[in-house]
Amino acid sequence: MKIAHFSDLHYSPENLDEADRCFTHAAQDAMNRCMDVAVISGDSTDHRLDAHAPALNRLAWNINHLSLSMPVLMLQGTFSHEPPGTLRNFALMSQKHRVFIAERVQQVSLFEGNFFASAGPVFNEEELRSVLTLGADVVFTCLPTVNKGQLAPAVGATDAATGLEAVLGDYLAAAGRINQRLSAAGIRTVGVSHGTVNGCTTEHGVTMAGFDHEFSLGALFDARCDAFLLGHIHKAQQWERGGQLVGYAGSIGRFHYGEEGDKGYLMWDVEVGDARAELIPTPSRQTICVDFDGTPDMEKLAAIAADASDKFVRVRWQVDEEHRQSVDRDAIEALFAQAAGLKVEARILPVVRSRSQGISLETTVDRKIERWAEHANVDAAPLVERYQLLESGFVEAIAAAVLASLEAEPEVDTLADAAMPVATVEVGTGTQTSWLDGDLFAA
């Protein structure tokens, strides 16, 4: 069975060009490859959309178009992206094959193009006998986004954030017992969910490790699914164990700067006890990210701009507060005038001034000055001397002393400091003259 796995379409007015170009290409490619069923594992929209929004119209058109060739299963994603109830409208847009909306925890069988859902989280004995008797092309174990607020009454408010993984692990183990019986009968089993696997890598290269993520790899493999199709993380990645395969399709397009890897959809080939997946790239936009630890290098930017006519460019730099005006934003924008898009981000580092430690503990100003001098690595004696002079003397007396010291300095010193030749002769009694560059000075 060939399954076209799409995820994280994020249709919205802001992402419309990227999302629609990539999803339209992917849907048509899946139809050309004659795939058997399509799965969208959450976040078809980026946020709440108005009924008249062009983004909603384009998404509906593609779902309708996809249903011409194959059944479609759409999973509920993050509530902030897909408000509950948003996907129900797509069930009315099927063209030839059904569009099934999985918005609760359940198991769903697909047989001859029709979906049959369990009444509870897993098939009960009666439902399971029916599936085993009538047969099924595939059984999906659907685990949409779980609201942690609904989990709190069951496990307690303090454990709701970190206890979700254990609760979902118990469900996946229960589903695994059902899936084992289905596999023994020769029926393919596929899991579909939307969440974070502990240890996965984001599109920016960050490893997601912590106690508040939905899944562990062990719990996903315990579901005993031949294939487990995941959404939410925007980087395509896979894990394999004993014929079972778990994989993220990643986002359909590149919606943020700095995302790593190709964008596309996964083409799954699933048989009982064996699953394979291949990433089929989409024509996602190309981005260039340039970061400077200081002011931007205009020569480097000019070289990059020569090959950025059809790319999206982000230029970031960081400078201290005193040099924020040294960056010419207009010149940067002029360099990338032919780029598909430009985003400039400046990080201004504020000048931080902190008190010298221990100053407030000193009881006299003299000691405060000495403590400051210790931290500033300067000689404290001249500062203390001048402070004592200011504290004990009169302003007029201090000014008079300064002027007197200036008048006491001989002018010849000033001339000598200028490194000019001076000739001195004695004329008369007690009168000295200096001859300098043809001018006569008398003292």
pLDDT digits (tens, 9 = 90+) for 342-397: 999 988 888 766 667 778 788 888 888 888 888 888 898 988 888 888 887 778 88
Backbone conformation region of residue 23, classed left if phi is above 0, alpha if psi is from -120 to 50, else beta: alpha
For residues 423 and 356, give the distance between their C-alpha atoms in angstroms, rounded to a whole number. Answer: 54
pLDDT of the residue at 393 = 73
Q: What is the pTM of this model?
A: 0.74
Identify the band that residue 156 occupies on the pLDDT scale cut at 50, 70 and 90.
Answer: low
Q: In terms of Cα–Cα distance, which of 99, 8, 32, 26 is closest to 60?
A: 99
pLDDT digits 0-9 by tens, 4-47 = 999 999 999 999 999 999 999 999 999 999 999 999 999 999 99
pLDDT digits 0-9 by tens, 59-98 = 999 999 999 999 999 999 999 999 999 999 999 988 799 9
Identify the band that residue 426 occupies on the pLDDT scale cut at 50, 70 and 90.
Answer: very low
Q: What is the CA radius of gyration of the chain?
A: 37
Q: Cβ(101)–Cβ(68) under 8 Å?
A: no
The angle subtended at Cα 191 by Cα 190 and Cα 194, nearest 5°, is: 145
For residues 305 and 296, give the distance between their C-alpha atoms in angstroms, rounded to a whole number. Answer: 13
pLDDT digits 0-9 by tens, 238-251 = 999 988 999 999 99
Cα-based distances in Å from 342 to 15, 184, 315 = 16, 56, 8
3-state secondary structure the chain: CEEEEECCCCECCCCHHHHHHHHHHHHHHHHHCCCCEEEECCCCECCCCCCCCHHHHHHHHHHHHHCCCCCEEEECCCCCCCCCCHHHHHHHHCCCCCEEEECCCEEEEEECCEEEECCCCCCCHHHHHHHHHHCCCEEEEEECCCCHHHHHHHHCHHHCCCCHHHHHHHHHHHHHHHHHHHHHCCCEEEEEEECCECCCECCCCCECCCCCCCECHHHHHHCCCCEEEEECCCCCEEEEECCEEEEECCCCCCCCCCCCCCCEEEEEEEECCEEEEEEEECCCCCEEEEEECCCCCHHHHHHHHCCCCCCEEEEEEEEEHHHHHHCCHHHHHHHCCCCCEEEEEEEEECCCCCCCCCHHHCCCHHHHHHHHHHHHCCCCHHHHHHHHHHHHCCHHHHHHHHHHHHHCCCHHHHHHHCCCCCEEEEECCCEEEEEECCEEEEC
Q: In terms of Cα–Cα distance, which of 8, 166, 4 is closest to 71?
A: 4
pLDDT digits 0-9 by tens, 292-341 = 988 899 989 999 888 888 889 999 999 888 778 888 889 999 989 888 88
For residues 97 and 110, give the distance between their C-alpha atoms in angstroms, rounded to a whole number. Answer: 12
Identify the band that residue 168 occupies on the pLDDT scale cut at 50, 70 and 90.
Answer: confident
Beta bridge partners of 238: 247
For residues 79 and 97, give the distance between their C-alpha atoms in angstroms, rounded to a whole number. Answer: 27
Q: Cβ(23)–Cβ(17) under 8 Å?
A: no
For residues 349 and 90, give the distance between their C-alpha atoms in angstroms, rounded to a whole number. Answer: 49
Q: In terms of Cα–Cα distance, which of 241, 152, 159, 143 is closest to 195?
A: 143
Question: Which of 303-337 are b and which e, b meaning 16 or more Cβ less than 10 Å from the residue's Cβ?
Answer: ebbeebeebbbbbbbebeeeeeeebeeeebeebbe
For residues 230 and 39, give the distance between their C-alpha atoms in angstroms, rounded to a whole number. Answer: 10
pLDDT of the residue at 423 = 47
Instruction: Tell me the backbone φ, ψ of residue 258, rounded to 5 degrees.
Output: 85, 10
Question: Given the structure tokens 């198991």, which residue do they identify?
Answer: 107
Instruction: Tell me the backbone φ, ψ of residue 220, rounded to 5 degrees.
Output: -65, -40
Q: Regarding beta strands 264-271 and 274-281, do their DSSP bridges make them parallel or antiparallel, or are they unpaired?
A: antiparallel
CB atoms within 10 A of CB 204: 12
pLDDT of the residue at 267 = 98
Q: Tokens at residue 340, please?
A: 């598909």
pLDDT digits 0-9 by tens, 213-244 = 778 899 999 999 999 999 999 999 999 998 89
